[in-house]
Amino acid sequence: MSTYENQASDIKKVLHYDVIIVGAGMVGATLACALAEQGMQVLILDSALSPQIDLTQKPGLRVSAIHIASVNFLKKLQVWPLLSAKRLRPFTHMEIWETNPSNHTIDRLFKTDQSVVLDCQHIGEQALGYFIENDIFQAALHERLEALPTAQLLTGVSIDQFINPLDHAEKRILLTNKNEYVSPLIIGADGMLSQVRSWSGIQTNHTTYGQSAFVATVELPTDPGFLTWQAFTAQGPMAFLPLPVCANRYYASLVWYHTQIHHQALMALSDVELIRQISQHFPQQLPPILSLVSKNTFPLSKQIATSYVKPGVALIGDAAHTVHPLAGQGLNLGLQDAITLTDVIVTAWKKGEIYASLDVLKTYQQIRQADTRHMIWLLEACHYGFMSHNIVIKCLRKASFLGAKYQPIKRYITEYGAGKRLKILQNMYKIPSI
């Protein structure tokens, strides 16, 4: 007798949905809001509980830059007012420069101010994006889900068993709450170690960069303003992210990319010594630090699923792809997966087509794989390009900085970074925006 047959008599209820989403993180919960907003019956589940937010507390360690295209989508889903009512920080400018001063001929040849400033006004927006604490974002999405009549959010539960084989038209899953849930479509939004991806037998290509990101939230004496900056060094970038004002105090998030050994040494330092190290190594643009709020390190790797879909299964967000965080694009890519998958599924569903079929889901895969590959290519060009001492690459790097000063190129980079490229891709595949 199988484990399922053993458990069958214990099953409390069998419940049917149009879509089941595994993982109610920022990406899965956004997709659930979008599908339920269109009237689909959606079950979204997460093994963790919803974050509890206390706005009197200092900002959390995990922060994401959300670009304008993602913001516009969240406005459509009525999530944005919930977020604005909590806390977020707009950034209107982004400055990027290289800090490798040397007396090399190339550096002397390209004698120029190497800093490039991207300005929201170049693309007619009020901000390039917003810094949002991950917990606050997730809590706002869960709040919105609770208000949507066709969405059901279950937290603190996970999948005990996938009951029927993958090729079955109806996917049946048994949760740890002993209920059985049935749907033609299961979406894996369950992060980098996705259980749905393993169950569907989808492989990944995984690369480690041999580096980690050291992240620290610090308190500052004055308001950090609306400029975010990133200085590229031969060891990796250093970034400054202004955070929202909390209880009349000022904060910023600092990100320092370096070797894991270097970061282990940093983590072992006392707060006072760590602040001294940061102040000594970060560029002079870093304001004085009053105190350290929190710190941690995150190993850097790239992981791409060889396929984003199977019949009745789709992967989104980090379950499908994990990218280098240097340009703050991982979550934004996931949110764009959610936009495209919503458009593809809802269009088919409204026409009465089999929205869980491979034919329908492949359109999502084609659009999103193309976009993600392009982004990974750019991120790796930045990662390896800035660390390289090769003369040709050094020349290309200097020339790119010069090129980025020309308005049309600058505008293109700003629009690309702000996520405005998705519309072009969807139009190419004739996918209407819902």
Ligand X SMILES: Cc1cc2nc3c(=O)[nH]c(=O)nc-3n(C[C@H](O)[C@H](O)[C@H](O)COP(=O)(O)OP(=O)(O)OC[C@H]3O[C@@H](n4cnc5c(N)ncnc54)[C@H](O)[C@@H]3O)c2cc1C
Tell me which residues touch ligand X (CB under 6 A).
22-28, 45-48, 64-65, 158-159, 189-191, 195, 213, 215, 298, 317-318, 325, 328-332, 334
Q: Which pair of structure tokens corresponds to residue 322? A: 């994990």
CB of 275 to ligand X, least distance (A): 20
Nearest partner of 325 among 134, 127, 72, 173, judged by Cα: 134
CB of 157 to ligand X, least distance (A): 7
Q: At what angle do helices 26-37 and 134-147 cross, to 10 degrees?
A: 20
Indicate the residue among 86 and 405 with the shorter CB distance to ligand X.
86
Indicate the residue among 114 and 307 with the shorter CB distance to ligand X.
307
Indicate the residue among 310 and 394 with the shorter CB distance to ligand X.
310
Where helices occur in 94-176 by DSSP H, the ranges are: 105-109, 134-147
Helix (H/G/I), strand (E/B), else coil: 209: strand
Indicate the residue among 347 and 419 with the shorter CB distance to ligand X.
419
Nearest partner of 212 among 194, 241, 237, judged by Cα: 237
Rounded CA separation 37/114 (Å): 46
Amino acid in position 124: G
Indicate the residue among 129 and 184 with the shorter CB distance to ligand X.
129
Indicate the residue among 215 and 238 with the shorter CB distance to ligand X.
215
CB of 14 to ligand X, least distance (A): 20
CB of 18 to ligand X, least distance (A): 19
CB of 194 to ligand X, least distance (A): 7
Residue 428 CB contacts under 8 Å (≥ 6 apart), including other chains: none
Q: Which pair of structure tokens corresponds to residue 152? A: 């059901």
Q: Which pair of structure tokens corresponds to residue 103? A: 């007396």
Q: What is the dihedral of CA 16, 21, 22, 25, to 10 degrees?
A: -140
CB of 198 to ligand X, least distance (A): 9
Rounded CA separation 292/277 (Å): 12
